[in-house]
């Protein structure tokens, strides 16, 4: 277990007993958001967007390493993506631990703390289990990875400004705006 992950363990105290546990079914639709947010909540949203994006990147990095392990059939426990995920996870943990949420941001903050915990477990499992590709090793990583991603989805439903899937970065975004400039000119 890395020192950074060990430092994140106190975040468990932030878990909300009133919320369903990891892997529980999400509500059919998010609760309606208030029409306006107070200044403290707006400041919280602005401050935590980068942290949310870092957690999304951690999920992608862990999933990428998992796909690589399964596709190659080889151990990838020392893959550089795991170090990148560890660094991003540590930065996100510092941000979550260092920010006291306003009352309207507390629910969101609890989901971020739970996502941190689950991604930390997935990262530890990846380092321990991705020495060989087998179903048990994959399951040890997938369970906390799915739980962490579920927490990110829940966090995105609680406050505006958080997207689990950033459609603005996808190929579909290119079709919705003005055409991009042509970078390659045909031979004439």
* Per-residue pLDDT reduced to its tens digit, 85-137: 999 999 999 999 999 999 999 999 999 999 999 999 999 998 888 766 677 88
- CATH topology for the 39-174 domain: 1.20.120
Average pLDDT score over residue span 43-61: 95
Q: What local confidence, expressed as pLDDT, does residue 187 receive?
A: 52
pTM score, whole prediction: 0.71
* Per-residue pLDDT reduced to its tens digit, 16-28: 434 444 444 444 4
Hey, what long-range contacts does 15-23 have (CB within 8 A, 24 or more apart)?
Answer: 15/110, 15/113, 15/114, 15/117, 16/107, 16/110, 19/107, 19/110, 19/111, 19/154, 22/114, 22/118, 22/144, 22/146, 22/147, 22/148, 22/150, 22/151, 23/143, 23/146, 23/147, 23/150
Domain coordinates in residue numbering, the chain? 39-174
């Amino acid at each position: 277990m890395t020192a950074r992950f060990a430092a994140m363990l106190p975040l468990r105290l932030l878990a909300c007993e009133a919320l369903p546990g990891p892997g529980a079914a999400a509500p059919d639709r998010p609760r309606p958001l208030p029409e306006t947010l107070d200044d403290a909540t707006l400041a919280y949203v602005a401050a935590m967007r980068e942290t949310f994006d870092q957690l999304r990147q951690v999920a992608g990095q862990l999933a990428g390493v998992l796909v690589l392990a399964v596709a190659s059939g080889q151990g990838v426990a020392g893959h550089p993506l795991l170090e990148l995920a560890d660094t991003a996870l540590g930065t996100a943990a510092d941000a979550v631990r260092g920010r006291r949420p306003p009352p309207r941001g507390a629910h969101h903050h609890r989901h971020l703390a739970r996502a941190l915990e689950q991604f930390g477990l997935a990262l530890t499992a990846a380092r321990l289990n991705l020495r060989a590709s087998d179903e048990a090793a994959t399951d040890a990583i997938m369970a906390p990875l799915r739980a962490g991603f579920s927490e990110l989805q829940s966090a995105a439903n609680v406050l505006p400004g958080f997207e689990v899937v950033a459609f603005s970065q996808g190929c579909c975004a290119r079709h919705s705006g003005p055409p991009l400039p042509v970078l390659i000119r045909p031979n004439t």
